[in-house]
Amino acid sequence: MLGMRAKVDKPDMAIGRIASRQHGVVSRQQLRNAGLGEAAIGRRVESGRLHRVHRGVYAVGHRSLPIEALWMAAVLACGEGAVLSHRSAACLWGLLRPRSGPVDVSIPGTPGRKRRTGLRLHRSQSLTPDLVTRRRDILVTKPARTIADLKRVASAAEHRRAIRQADVLGLDIGPDVDRDGTRSELERRFLLLCRRRRLPPPEVNIRLAGLLVDFAWRDRHLIVETDGYKFHRGRAAFEDDKARDLRLRQAGFDVLHFSYRQVMDHPEQVASALRKTLADP
């Protein structure tokens, strides 16, 4: 009896070790490698010890899976060479927030897609091993490749947000990524406003008087701060803004503040105020 129990425990212990490294999921091939035959796998599925996630991929012990387990299961389901990519990779790197929907997986090879429930497959001849790494033990495209892939499936705003977040996190996304120096959508819209109204281009996010300012025209001694509600609400933020303005004015700069609503809903008024201020001697 003890000998039979040991034979059962040995593959289950091996499966447990594999699952612990893979966020609680294993492939059918890994189950076989651990010593389970088809009948043994079937018995464990029937008894609820294994739960099918995708064809050939199982959750060990329970159905409730964290997002990392769903990403890992998707990669395992697509076989050798498969990696998390596109939007799903951006979420794994912390560039975008996870959301429901199919998991993006890339596979080396010629173009063409085969539908799989819960998966969005991408085939690429340019997906080489040097563009792949591991994060949280999941095979995933490196940040630079992730940003490039994301451009094809995300909105322009999401793509810009991912680029900014990659810079904040210090991830290497390469020197050729289109950056405008802004740190938020509000800053980007203000910079676009200046370009469209043919205003002199400002410097973006530079240090003056020991402070990081949003926009500056140094030759005109003018600074513009764009005030999003999230980061400028409350008494502490109000007092900090007043202290910053005083310090900048003491350094010889005029300071203008424009709110999110002003930039978004009243761009002509903002442009008129800027044009007048920049024209003053």
Q: How far apart are CA 62 and CA 6, in angstroms?
A: 23
- Residue 22 has what pLDDT? 96
- Residue 4 has what pLDDT? 45
What's the mean pLDDT when you consider all of the chain? Answer: 88
Helix (H, G, I), strand (E, B) or coil at 117: coil
Q: 215-269: per-residue pLDDT in tens?
A: 999 999 999 999 865 444 545 556 677 889 999 999 999 999 999 899 999 999 9
- Residue 84 has what pLDDT? 98
How does residue 45 score in pLDDT terms, banded at 50, 70 and 90? very high
Residue recorded with tokens 């909105």: 155
Beta bridge partners of 141: 132
| Phi, psi for residue 247 in degrees, rounded to 5 | -65, -40
Q: How far apart are CA 41 and CA 46, in angstroms?
A: 9
- Residue 1 has what pLDDT? 43
- Residue 5 has what pLDDT? 47
pTM score above 0.85: no
What average pLDDT score do residues 35-52 get?
94
Q: 72-112: per-residue pLDDT in tens?
A: 999 999 999 999 999 999 999 999 999 889 999 999 876 55
- Residue 126 has what pLDDT? 87
Q: 136-163: per-residue pLDDT in tens?
A: 999 999 999 999 999 889 988 888 889 8
CA distances from 156 to 148, 152, 163 (A): 12, 9, 11
Q: How far apart are CA 104 and CA 119, in angstroms?
A: 6
Q: How far apart are CA 280 and CA 234, in angstroms?
A: 33
185-279: CATH topology is: Endonuclease; Chain A (3.40.960)
Largest CA distance in the chain: 96
How does residue 271 score in pLDDT terms, banded at 50, 70 and 90? very high
How does residue 3 score in pLDDT terms, banded at 50, 70 and 90? very low
How does residue 9 score in pLDDT terms, banded at 50, 70 and 90? low
What letter would DSSP give residue 240? Answer: H
**Of the candidates 166, 212, 163, which has an alpha carbon nearest to the alpha carbon of residue 185?**
163
Residue 13, CB-side half-sphere exposure with 13 Å CA sphere: 6
Q: Are 85 and 141 in contact (CB under 8 A)?
A: yes
Of residues 206 and 139, more confidently modeled: 139
CA distances from 200 to 8, 188, 191 (A): 75, 16, 11
Q: How far apart are CA 84 and CA 138, in angstroms?
A: 8
Domain boundary assignment for the chain: 9-60, 67-169, 185-279
